[in-house]
Amino acid sequence: MSQSTTGHVVNGHNSSVNGVSHVEKFNIEDIPELKIPPRVLMGAGPSASYPEALRAMSSTTLGHLDPEFLAIMGNVGAMLRRVFKTQNPITGAVPTTGTGGMEAALCNLIEPGDEVLCVVYGYFSNRMKQMAERMGAVVSVVEGPWGTVVPIEKVKEALDKIKNPKLVTVVHAETSTGILHPVQEIVKLAHERGALAVVDTVTSLGGCPVYVDDWECDAVFSGTQKCIGAPPGLSPITFNARAMDRIRNRKVPVQSWYLDMSLVETYWGDSSAGGRAYHYTAPSNALFGLHEALRMTLLEGVENRWARHEMHSRAFTAGTEVLGLLPYAQEGHRLWQLATMYIPEGIDDLAVRTRLLREYNIEISAGLGSAKGKIWRVGIMGYSANRSNIFLLLGALETILGDMGHNLEKGAASEAANAIYHEYDNKKTSSSEAPIALEVDEEDAPPIGEAIPAESVAQGVAHRD
């Protein structure tokens, strides 16, 4: 039996004959305690988790009706409302990843035979379409080429062709392409036609402006592992009054008992109205982690956090452009939290990513679907979005690409990133304003980089700019 560098058994006595698997035989002494290697997570997700979140997750497990736990859940809901920028009472986190949040939003709002328009311009917007089809919806699709946004006129035309549209689905930040879609206009169009809008904010929440109430989004879901800074495993989700009204007045019950929001709300809802009823065992430790990630997010300030993502993204792309890595996503619609770039001619995708991981502990992501083998996707997300990670990755790319014969000027990428950081550093010393002119809530007022406890500097990986 051999072991990988992390001590995992790689050749156990695992056999299967004619599809029937036989009992594995192994010595429990041969399976070592887990020793997880350090990683700099700069792929499309997950990103690094706040140490505060990880520490909280190792606390004593609490029962799902323990008053202490209910208070924690209440705070998670309140903090999520602040991050989503909503007053929706039905705001919480379902015990699943982003895909499960997608499923929860769609299965509650779709009834068999409903006409649904899916705006599809990448891998995840296509996943919404597939789910709607499985749920028995009559699905129309308005499509745009990968790497671009779908023009609003096309969405309007597609909606006009549908007799009685019930729902429009859209991904705000398409992680397969690096595109930020103008969601607000689509939601407005949906409402004009009497449809509701479901918005995927898995990659956008916490990393760029998301205004659930101002944009009047009806159901919005996200993930914990991208710009929020907690491990994967929960999906923050929020439903407005219109959406809850639709759910409560369904003709047929939601097919999923587990994700039925009319049942979930008896556990999440207002405890003063007769207490909370058990629906499923809440994953208390996962919620502790989300609690801490949200607390850190709000200590930094939601708007400051968006500004931090923009700053590190600008620095990184200044560097990659100097390295000759051409951007993939349409100009003017590029995400801050996910840079996508073409792999240069003659450069071996897998060889680069393998060296990054083996020699630098850095994870970046390959292309998905039609972009597989053509692009790299680099996450600048949440706790991973910091100056030292940007310089580490630019330096590593420069070395590896240089070794592979790519034409580049040594040191120029870091210089280009540095020039961007200097812009911000100079602004910081010459004025007390936040570096980017963004609307700042009074409660979220601390200037960028301040109000972060020193303990939040992770082992070996600096945290903030």
CB 131, min distance to ligand PLP, A: 11
> 45 or 77: whose CB is closer to ligand PLP?
45
Tokens matching residue 343 = 């792999």
Q: Of 45 and 229, which CB lies nearer to ligand PLP in the complex structure?
A: 45
Place of tokens 């992680």: 175
Considering the complex, what minimum distance in angstroms separates the CB of residue 458 from ligand PLP? 22
CA–CA dist 453, 273 (Å, integer): 38
Q: Which residue has the tokens 């960028």?
A: 448
Q: Which residues contact 164 (CB under 8 A, 6 or more apart)?
A: 115, 194
Name which of 97 and 304 has its Cβ closer to ligand PLP: 97
Query: Which one, 173 or 318, has the nearer CB to ligand PLP?
Result: 173
Which ranges constitute the DSSP H helices of 371-411?
387-403
CB closer to ligand PLP, 223 vs 319: 223
Nearest-approach distance from CB 312 to ligand PLP, in angstroms: 19
Q: CB of 216: closest distance to ligand PLP in angstroms? A: 20
Helices (H), 208-251: 241-248
CA 287 to chain centroid? 17
Q: Tell which residue, 263, 201, 236, 273, has the closest CA to residue 76.
A: 236
Give the length of the chain. 465
Q: Report the nearest approach of ligand PLP to the CB of residue 187 (Å).
A: 17
351-362 residues labelled b (16+ CB within 10 A) or e (exposed): ebbebbbeebbb
185 token code pair: 């206009």
User: Quick one: 92 or 301, whose CB is closer to ligand PLP?
Assistant: 92
CB nearer ligand PLP, residue 222 or residue 320: 222
**Residue 223: CB minimum distance to ligand PLP, A:** 4
Query: What residue ranges bind ligand PLP (CB under 6 A)?
Result: 44-45, 97-99, 102, 124, 171, 175, 200, 202-203, 223, 232
Supply the minimum distance, in Å, between the C-beta of residue 251 and ligand PLP: 28
Chain residue at closest Cβ approach to ligand PLP = 98
**Residue matched to tokens 């705070």:** 75
What three-state secondary structure class fits 203? coil
Residue nearer to ligand PLP on the CB measure, 234 or 396: 234
At residue 147, the 3 state secondary structure works out as coil
Helix (H, G, I), strand (E, B), or coil: what is residue 423? helix
Cβ atoms of 294 and 228 within 8 Å: the answer is yes
How far is Cα 412 from Cα 415, in angstroms, rounded to an integer?
5
Q: Smallest gap, in angstroms, from Cβ of residue 81 to ligand PLP?
A: 21
